[in-house]
Structure 1
Amino acid sequence: MVGAFVGAFGLLMLSAFTSVLAGGPLTTKREQVNAAYQAAVGECLNWEKTDLSDAQKVDCTAAHKFEVTGTADITGAYPKEAPFPNAEAWEKIAQENCAQASTTYMAGKLDPKGKYGVSTLNPDETRWSSGYRQLRCGLQVTAPSGAALPSFGSAKTADQSNVYDPGVCVALAENNTVGDPIECAKPHAFEIIGVVQHPEGPFVALEAQDTLMSERCAVMAAEYTGGADLKGKNLLFTWDTRAEESWAVGSRKANCKIGAVPQGEKLVAWEGSVRNPNGAPLTTANPPQTTSVRPQDEPTGAPLHSSESNQPPSGESGKPEDSGKPDKPSSTAPSSSAENR
C-alpha cells in the first residue's frame, strides 16, 4: 500500500505510514479541518467522512483515528515553487519528518510489529500551492488495506499488541494475504476465537509460546465452538506469537483463530461462523479491540482531500511463528491431533 494514499509502508521493519491529506477553499468544512491542524502533541483527532470534512479533536479515551506525536515544517526542503509531492515523495517526507517524532513520543517504545503505525496529516494541493508546508505527525491503527481503524486511549499507555476481539473475521485478500475485518457470513481467512495474555517478565522463547498457545487455543476452540468437529469441517485452529522486539516494549497479547486447512501454500476462504450460538457471551476488551473497518472509497487510490478542493500461509509442521498482526496467517499450524482436544 502507498503511505501517502492511506496505505502501509515499512519503517524499521515495523510501522506503517498513512498520510491523510485535507484542506480546501475557505468554507465551514475547511474551518473544521483547520481545527484538526491546530491539534497539539498528545491530542487525538477523529473523523467519519473520507474527505475529512468532519475532522475534529476528541478526548483520546474516545474512539479516534489519529494521535498527534509532533509537528514539522518542511518549507526548507520544499519552497513555495516546489511541485506538489507524489505518493513516493510523501512517503519520504513522512519517514524523514515523523518517524523519529513518533518514536520519541513513545519514549522509544514503539512496537515494530504492533497495531500502531506512523502517520502524517498533510496539506492538500490547494494549500501546497499557497505555500503551506506544515505537517502533523501521528500514530494510527490501520487495516491491511490502509483504512483507518478506531483506536481507544493514548498509544503511550495502551497495549500495542495487534489483536482483534473474539468473533471478528478477517478477509482473504489478494496474493494469498489476509485482509481487513469482514462479516463472517462472507468468505474469510480466519475467525478470531480468543486473546491470550502472556505474563510479564523476560521474553518467552517462541517454542515455549507455541506450547502455551497450543494448549490455550485448544481450550478456546472447544469453548468457542461448543466442541465442534473442526477436522470434519476441514478447519483447524492456529495462533499468533509475539516477537522479542514486541515483547520488549510490553506487547503481551496474541490471538487464537480458526481457519480452513490450507491447500499446499495457499490459504482457503470459508464462510460462516463456528461460534456456538448457545455458548456464553464472548469476552471482549473494554474498550474493544479493533472490531470493524469502514470501507474507504479508494483505500489505496487517490489522496484524501477535503470535498471543497478541486496504511506465508499455515502449514502442517506445528510451529506458528510471530505473525506481527493477528490477521496474518501463522507460518505453520497445529497438527490435526491438536485440533479437537
Structure 2
Amino acid sequence: MAGAFVGAFGLLMLSAFTSVLAGGPLSTKRELVNAAYQAVAGECLNWEKPDLSDAQKVDCAAAHKFEVTGTADITGAYPKEAPFPNAEAWEKIAQENCAQASTTYMAGKLDPKGKYGVGTLNPDQNRWSSGYRQLRCGLQVTAPSGAPLPSFGSAKTQDQSAVYDPGVCVSLAGNNTVGDPIECAKPHAFEIVGVVQHAEGPFVALEAQDALMSERCAAIATEYTGGADLKAKNLLVTWDTRAEESWAVGSRKANCKIGAVPQGTNLVAWEGSVRNPNGAPLTTANPPQTTSVRAQDEPTGAPLHSESGKPPSESGKPSDSGQPDKPSSSAPTTTSENR
C-alpha cells in the first residue's frame, strides 16, 4: 500500500480556563437549591440545562461535566458594589483563585497540556447583584469551543492525555486551528485513526517520539483504511507527541490521524471518512471518548480560554503546545506497507 505520512501538524485540545455561570433566576419567595452552590472538593456535577439549574451531584465514575477541586470567596476583591465581571475579568478571577487549587488537588500532577482544563462555576448576574461571591473551582474536559465534554472517573485516577478515539473527526476552526469533534461527513481537519500508548520510563525526546510515531501510525493507518492509497486522495498520515511536562505526570497516549495535504502553512478541510467499512471493529476507550458535542449555549456565558501566545513550532516538527502547529510545508514522504 502506498501511503503518505508526515510529522505532527496540529494538536487536538487546549488545556484552558473555562468559566460557567451557574444557577437560574432567583425567586423573591424561595431560592432554588442548586448543587452547583453546595458541592465540595472531590464531588462531581452533571447538568443538561445551559443555566445549570438542573445541576446534580453524581458519582464521579458516571458521566459528569465538572469535578470540584475547591471553593473560593472573592468578596475582598469584589465587594457588593462591584460591577459584574466581563469575560476577561472572569478569566483573571479563575487564574488567580482556581489554578493553584486544582494543581494542589491533583497533588501537583496536572498535565498543563492534557485533556483537563481548570474551570470555575461562577454566580450568575442575579446572585452577583445580591452580593454572592463564592466560586467553585474544578476540572473539566472541554472541546476547543469551550463546550463541555463528558468525563468519567476522577481526574486524580485518569490518564490525562489529550486524545480522541479512532473514528472521531475534528473540525477545522478559524485562524488555522483545530476545532471540536464533528461528523466525518462534514468538512473536518483530521480523522483520528488510532492511539499509541508509549511505554513507561524516562521521557522520550520529541525526535525519538517522532520516529516511533511515524512507524506506528503508518501501520495503524494501513489497517484503518484497508490499504487505501492516501496520496491519490491528497491525504497524509500525521500524529501528536507528548511534551516533557505531560510525560512527567503520566500522559503517555498520542493520536495517529489523517489530514489533507496542507496548502503552505494552512490546514485544509476535507470530507468523508477513510475507514475501511469491512475492517475490524474499532478499539475505543471504555467509556468512549466523545464523537460529537453540542454547541456552546449563550446563557452559560462565553467560554474563557487562556491563550499562551506561544507561537507554533517550526514547520514539520511535532509539538505538544496548546495551539495547533502550522502544517509541514515539506513534501510528504511515501512509504509502502504490506499488512
* TM-score by shorter chain over 0.5: yes
Please give the residue correspondences for 1:195-274 in structure 2 after superposition, counting only pairs within 5 Å: 195-274=195-274
For residues 314 and 125 of structure 1, the distance between their equivalents in structure 2, rounded to whole angstroms, comes to: 41
Q: Which letter does structure 2 place at the counterpart of 1:263? A: Q
Q: Which residue of 2 aligns with 1:188?
A: 188
- Per the alignment, do residues 15 and 95 of structure 1 end up closer, same or farther by CA in structure 2, a change over 3 Å counting? same
Deviation at 1:41, TM superposition (A): 0.5
- Shift of residue 147 of structure 1? 0.9
2:333 maps to: 337
Equivalent in the alignment of 1:161:
161
Residues 19 and 301, structure 2, Cα contact 8 Å, conserved in 1:
no
Distance 1:169 1:96, change over 3 A: same
Amino acid at match of 2:208: A
Tell me how far apart the structure 1 counterparts of residues 296 and 234 of structure 2 sit (CA, whole Å): 33
2:61 matched residue in structure 1: 61
Residue aligning to 2:26: 25
Deviation at 1:320, TM superposition (A): 2.6
Instruction: Please state how far the C-alpha of 1:221 moved relative to its aligned partner.
Output: 0.4
* 1:27 Cα deviation from its structure 2 partner: 9.1
Query: Secondary structure, in 3 states, of the residue corresponding to 1:288?
Result: coil
Q: Which residue of 2 aligns with 1:108?
A: 108
Deviation per CA, 1:137-164: give whole Å up to 9, x if none: 0011111111111111111111000000
Flag the 1:26–1:244 CA change in 2: closer, same or farther, 3 A: same
Deviates more, 1:48-57 or 1:194-203: 48-57
* Partner secondary structure for residue 20 of structure 1: strand
Counterparts in 2 of 1:302 and 1:138: CA distance versus 1, 3 Å = closer
Tell me what 1:6 maps to: none
Identify the residue that residue 322 of structure 1 maps to in structure 2.
320
Say yes or no: does 1:39 pair with 2:35.
Answer: no
Aligned-residue offset at 1:31? 2.7
Query: Any conservation in 2 of the 1:66–1:139 contact (CA below 8 Å)?
Result: yes
Q: How big is each residue's C-alpha offset from its partner over 1:60-90, in whole Å with a ceiling of 9 and x where there is no partner?
A: 1111110000001111111111111111211
Aligned equivalent of 1:118 = 118
Q: Deviations over 1:272-303 (max 9, x none)?
A: 0000000000000112224321112339x945
The worse-fitting range, judged by mean Cα deviation, of 285-294 and 164-173 is 285-294
Residue identity in the other structure for 1:148: P
Classify 1:118/1:27 alpha carbon distance in 2 versus 1 (closer, same or farther; 3 Å). farther
Give the whole-Å Cα distance in 1 for the aligned partners of 2:44 and 2:84: 27
Greater relative contact order, per chain length (Cα 8 Å cut-off, separation 6+): 2
Cα 1:228/1:281, change in 2 over 3 Å: same
Aligned residues: 317
The aligned counterpart of 2:177 is 177
Partner of 1:31, secondary structure, is coil
- Say which SS state the counterpart of residue 209 (structure 2) adopts: helix
Residues 50/334 of structure 1: CA separation in 2 closer, same or farther (3 Å cut): farther
Deviation per CA, 1:176-198: give whole Å up to 9, x if none: 11100000000000000000000
Following the alignment from structure 2 to structure 1, what is the Cα–Cα distance between the partners of residues 220 and 228?
Answer: 12
Equivalent residues of 1:243, 1:324 under 8 A apart: no
Q: Which runs of 5+ in 2 are unaligned?
A: 1-13, 306-310
Asked if structure 2 preserves the Cα contact closer than 8 Å seen for 1:315 and 1:331, the reply is no
- TM-score, with length taken from structure 1: 0.87
TM-score normalised by L of structure 2: 0.87
Provide the C-alpha distance between the structure 2 equivalents of 1:191 and 1:148, rounded to a whole number of angstroms: 21
> Does the CA contact (< 8 Å) of 1:194 and 1:220 recur in 2?
yes
In structure 2, what residue type is equivalent to 1:198? H
- Give how far 1:207 is off: 0.8
Q: How does 1:132-143 map to 2 (within 5 A)?
A: 132-143=132-143
CA contact (8 A) 1:45 1:64 kept: yes
Q: CA deviation at 1:101?
A: 0.3
1:216 is paired with a residue whose SS is helix
